[in-house]
Chains A and B, each alone.
Chain A
């Protein structure tokens, strides 16, 4: 089954556990990560008797004795406080229904979209039409996953021009980078504006050449999202394009 390099102590007296994986290893569901009660399961792993077992495909993150798995795939799941990019799919009585690449759609209420007075029978498509893209914040997610969103706030609102590309939501942290380092690098070296939604939808806006460069870089990040030292690699990648 799994090769253990360390010694497994199976006696009941003062058992010494063993770790069967290394930090940043790719682990798969059902894989035994460690034996012994001193290890603690966190996201993406669970305890079964003496063993810690992985429950999701991802990269192992070892923090002392805590085993956490950063997933490498998965659909976006709405969370209050997230900034997302969404598309209007329907007009409601007092707002809009939007989709954002998740199993659930969201509702943008009229009062969350504009501060001006709207007449009773006014045509809402004057404000947002079907197919329009918006940058929105998620304000509330109920237990049944009904999602409320807002476009009131800094950096939120309708998107005009540019283009939308989509990546897996698990790739978003790599595209943003540590404290936004990757986004800054992308923006500075392509001269193209970029807004990344937590749902993996990305809006880019610039000259056609800059946009092509940006798309190339984002695809490169997506394909190497599990690799460490990615910012350096992307820097070289972008210099190669120049």
Chain B
């Protein structure tokens, strides 16, 4: 059942239950950054800029055995709905910054960058749920654009379950008003390994595994968009 106790038979934006919102991506949007990317899914827009490897300050955070990945997630004050409309950082932003770093770390190898840091700044000028996933997608492209060695890209999507129906890429209406369970998943599309799995809500074992299968399918599609955007940057040029 949904929050209001009604059956969920049709999605508010007319999508099929297994359809993602329209996606677009662009690489190299921040000129002065070492790598950058934009990832848009529906009305959620994430910008990511990568700086580094560079000297890590404060110095006590330095690790002599490896480089450090530091993510920063920020919803812009005018971007969202309700209680999240607030400038500056929050407990939620801090947590998402951490899980983003955890989701990206499995594909990176920073061993050769002892004592240094790789900074990833993610900003969302417009949000409609699925922000951490859009942020991870953008950050992954930005890291590739910055020239880091990566085992794979990281693609992420938020799937949900409302009224026993598995939903792809839920929007804010479904997340907040319908009360769908929210399951953000980040995946390494090449190997199918999962690097982020969160669950907010109640879901049966069967529905969870159904949702994960759907997430895997969607991440493959998303990684296609990411790859094309990276190649797009180098498709233009004279006499090729």
Contact = CB atoms under 8 A, between A and B. Distances in A.
Contact of B35 (A31, A55, A73, A144): A73
A22 interface: no
Q: With a 10 A CB-CB cut-off, give which of B107, B189, B239 has the most chain A CB atoms.
A: B239
Interface string A155-172: 000000000000000100
Contacts of A29: 107, 144, 149-153
Given A29-B151, A30-B188, A56-B150, A105 B238 contact: no
Given A30-B152, A72-B147, A73-B35, A233 B239 contact: yes
Contacts of A31: 227
A31 B145 CA distance: 15
Contacts, number: 99
B190 A56 contact: no
B113 A103 contact: yes
A143 B144 CA distance: 25
Interface residues of A, number: 34
A145 B67 CA distance: 12
Interface stretch (B12-20, B52-60, B73-81): B52-60
Interface stretch (A180-188, A201-209, A220-228): A220-228
Given A26-B231, A26-B234, A28-B227, A74 B240 contact: no
Interface in B34-59: 34-35, 52-55
A35 to B, nearest CB: 13
Interface string A94-112: 0000000001110000000
Interface string B203-240: 00000000000000000100110110011001101111
Nearest to A169: B147
Contacts of B152: 29-30, 53
A126 B233 CA distance: 47
A60 to B, nearest CB: 12
Contacts of B114: 143-145
B147 A28 contact: no
B4 interface: no
A31 B115 CA distance: 30
A75 B34 contact: yes
Interface string B151-192: 111000000000000000000000000000000000011110
Among A30, A55, A170, A226, which residue has the most Cβ atoms of chain B within 10 A?
A30
Contacts of A72: 147, 234
B191, B220, B238 — most chain A CB neighbours (10 Å): B238
B148 interface: yes
B55 A73 contact: no
Nearest to B145: A73
A103 B52 contact: yes
Interface string A201-242: 000000000000000000000011011110001000000000
Interface of B: 34-35, 52-55, 64, 67, 107, 112-116, 144-153, 188-191, 220, 223-224, 226-227, 230-231, 234-235, 237-240
Given A75-B53, A224-B238, 19 more contacts: A26-B235, A28-B153, A29-B152, A48-B191, A55-B149, A55-B151, A56-B144, A56-B150, A57-B230, A72-B234, A74-B146, A74-B147, A75-B52, A75-B146, A103-B54, A103-B116, A144-B114, A170-B147, A226-B237
